[in-house]
Chains A and B, each alone.
Chain A
Amino acid sequence: MKIRDAIENYTFVLPAVTIFSVFYIIPFIWVFQLGMFEWDGISFTRVFVGLQNFKEIFLQDSNWWQSMWNASYITLIALTFQNILAFMLALACDREIRMKNFYRVIFFIPPVLSEVVVGMAWRFIINDIDGANIINRMLIGMGFGNLAHNWLSDPNTALTTVALVHCWKGFGWGFLIFLAGLQTIPRELYEAARVDGASAWQSFKKITMPLMVPVMVLVAILTVLGTMQVFVLIVSLVGGEFAGHTSVPVLRILASMRGSSRFGYACAQGITFGMVLVAISFIQYRFSKKGH
């Protein structure tokens, strides 16, 4: 009986584990091995270099760590700005308010649009000569003319501008997951709280927030993963790494892989990147568990 029980349990995870082992673990082992080789991605021969690639990443590759820093900066903005926005919008749309179905559909438009359109449309809003320059015109109109400048080609604002466009593109996901999370809170809890004379703010603090913590952790981790790996949007907004000011890890990995044909090194970068992400996410996870 116990064995049958165990077999039954394992059948639940068997399909997932099978597909995962074949299509993830095998390529992963391949990549992991390659991280210790010098290989151009073409030849049938490769040279074993041990941990040389990793040594180079950690000791010499300052461009790599700059890209990590940039990605962390974008992630920090996404974690705060994007997620707070998403949460507020989800709260607003969870209420009994008019046109909520309309809003729910509209907020999901940015994730659906292709990066090409997003890049073009936003360059149009932001840029001076190939666009309508809407932001600068608004600033001048409001009397902040001295703030108007080239947002994407100024090293001080390029990364933040890219990050904000990224948040705009991504908040729809957070919105959706938060909305789904809010739906799972039984309405009776709110009813009971109101009967007890709790104000809206109190029931938000006592019911909504605690029950939403797991969902917030979920969204936070997904945001970290999604944002750390951003690159298509950057290419379509500023063309690439902009003297390092908008370089991100995936662009660095692609540069090693295609630009310099250092496939082994690219694999080592990918693994280092993954390890950092795993570390961040587990710290986040642990932290939230403790805080709870």
Chain B
Amino acid sequence: MRRRGLGIILFLLFVISGCCPVSVDSKPSISVWHWMTDRDPAFQELAKKYEALTGVKVNFELYAPSDAYSQKIRAAAQGTNLPDVFGILGEKRDFASFIKAGHILDITSYMEANNSNWKNNFFPKALAVNEFGPGNSYGIKPGIFGVPIDIMTIQMVYNKKLFEQLGLNPNRPPKTLQEFLDIGVKIRAAGMQGLVSGWGEVWMIDCLANNYAFNIMGKDKVLATIRGEVAYTDPDWVKVFSIFKRMQDSGVLAKGLVTMINKSAEQIFANEKAVFAFNGSWCVNVYKGMNPSLEYGAMLPPAASSQYPMAIWGGAGSSFMVNARSKNKEEVVKFLIWLTDQDQQAYLAQATNNLPANKNSLTKIPEILAQFARGMDYATHPNVWGVSEFSLVIEAFDRGIQSIIIGEKSPEQVASDVQKIKEREMAKKRAK
């Protein structure tokens, strides 16, 4: 009986090992790892085209969800088994660590070859996300280390039909915070839901709060805060925190917003149950799938101050990096140049409803996407600031705002809590 069991195992092993053909290919082939489920079919299509064109085989391997993908990349980095091309999910700090460990090729020279032919195709802000400037705080030699594939901006959207029901002009979204809060009162009176967003997965709170920080105190002061020169207890920061209290009090925030996950926020907005949503440009594709007849417009978050321009997060949506240990770097770069060329970028944008990273491909996109694209003028991103806030401070900041919304803490309390963590982390850093 035992022997039979062993036999079964051996048989199984035989079956399994019989299923792995060893492919030997003389032509160069490029392997690409990515996590973008919605773009995979388009990538496969492009790979076929490229093979027909050049004879070089490109294998796009999809690993989803992104959490698991990001673990896979880190594990593969430990074993130096990274593919020729890959994307990194994470903060600029992680990007820098990958560069320092020698996983990522500096592509500045390729970008700047032939009078920066390749470089000039891109939106500068998309490139900036993959750039390390002179004197950056990460200690990386200045240069460009990634190729943007598409861009995104995170803005607000509003439902035009519900705007009409509220007696508002559907072509004139609120410009100032006060207008926005006044609409909140109307929304509450009408028993509707206001703003929905994925604020249960805190990073979107962080995003909106930073937008307002730029608007209220300007970029320089925000960066000075991150460097530790301005305290979070500064009145301007308290103003930023207070915005969330004011929003909650006015009724412009949807019920249950603090624990909402972005996917359900998208459902709610697509099904016309909420007037506003705070979401990234990827939402165009999502809403289209859920409710093709949805009428909505994009808008900047309504400004709280006229002193500084409103800012939104934007830049490269996803980027590809070249493995510095790859055996055929030249081929890989050639492929990436082709992939980010006007026609391919236009195809990607069209097939996936994303914004192209190549600014020459912006011609034929739907109006709503164009609205998101125009937001690029206001775009900024933590990855281009050159400094990073401590993650524990960011965490305290985001949690604090959740506490403000549920009325657990006052803006002043949160400001002092965040400042305490900031000081602790700075002391820790100094001690090193």
Contacts and interface: CB of A to CB of B under 8 A. Distances in A.
- Indicate if A touches B (C-beta under 8 A): yes
Contacts of B392: 260
Contact of A153 (B94, B259, B390, B399): B259
25 contacts: A40-B93, A40-B97, A42-B77, A42-B97, A43-B97, A63-B395, A123-B264, A128-B255, A130-B260, A130-B267, A130-B268, A130-B273, A153-B258, A238-B259, A239-B198, A239-B261, A240-B202, A241-B202, A243-B400, A243-B403, A255-B395, A260-B391, A260-B392, A260-B395, A261-B94
Contact of B260 (A42, A60, A155, A239): A239
Contacts of A239: 198-202, 259-262
Contacts of A260: 390-392, 395
Task: Name the prevailing secondary structure of the B interface residues.
Answer: helix
Contacts of B391: 259-262
B94 A42 contact: yes
Given A42-B101, A243-B402, 18 more contacts: A41-B74, A42-B77, A44-B101, A129-B196, A129-B254, A129-B268, A129-B274, A153-B255, A153-B256, A153-B258, A239-B198, A239-B260, A241-B202, A243-B403, A259-B391, A259-B395, A260-B395, A261-B97
A244 interface: yes
B257 interface: yes
B98 interface: yes
B193 interface: yes
Interface string A108-152: 000000000000000100011110000000000000000000101
A176 interface: no
A129 to B, nearest CB: 5
Contacts, number: 99
Contacts of B227: none
B327 interface: no
Interface string A221-243: 00000000000000111111111
Interface in A240-275: 240-244, 246, 255, 258-262
A43 B273 contact: no
Contacts of B101: 42-44
Contacts of B424: 60
A158 B74 CA distance: 34
Contacts of B259: 152-153, 158, 237-239, 242, 246
A288 B171 CA distance: 70
Nearest to B408: A155
B70 interface: yes
B406 interface: yes
